[in-house]
Structure 1
């Protein structure tokens, strides 16, 4: 269970982007679906849109699961690695130089910063009785 709590979920998004866009045949502008808005406007949903929405959803899960535990500290360190990989790929991999991947990189940065801030704050206000149970 420790490994699952320590695993950064945004790594799944980066791995999926790399397998579908960098090494696969998909592009961030590939239309994967479309919907009609109440205004009557047809909105095409692209691969890049789907990745960004999924990254925001996983960021939400990461933030609500942040704690001041050893697994969270490992998660924050691995999240930093994910952010660094995103930044390097955005700068040096041609198929990652897209607006959608930049947003994913910024989401990874927010994950790192929010994770450390939440853990520090949780550790500061954590009762001593909780330490005996972990």
Structure 2
């Protein structure tokens, strides 16, 4: 049987049986005198709260609508006016992005094309955003600026 203090002031003692059963002993309990005198009691260790998981601050950047994204890509010269209208209307992949889509293996290629054709909101951390960013040769900071700069368009 193991024993460990559950409070810093040594007023609660846990007796842990080999089966895993735990008996909590406090002053006044029939086992207190003998249990609290054991020389092998594990000292109290305050619980450690785990670090919160890292969350990328980019997750808080509001998404762009289809309209905002295609306007941004056009105004930045990444796609033509005709491509912007076609992408918005039909989901057609602009010529500048076609090689990126074509380079994907199946079924990833089809998944990406369907996602591109059907998306309603473009999220900053979406894998499709990363793919388009890479195709456009944009840095993370430049993409952040596009997302914040075109949010009001």
The bucket for the TM-score relative to the shorter chain is under 0.3
- Higher gyration radius (CA): 2
Q: TM-score, normalised by structure 2?
A: 0.20
Greater helix percent: which structure?
1
Q: TM-score, normalised by structure 1?
A: 0.22
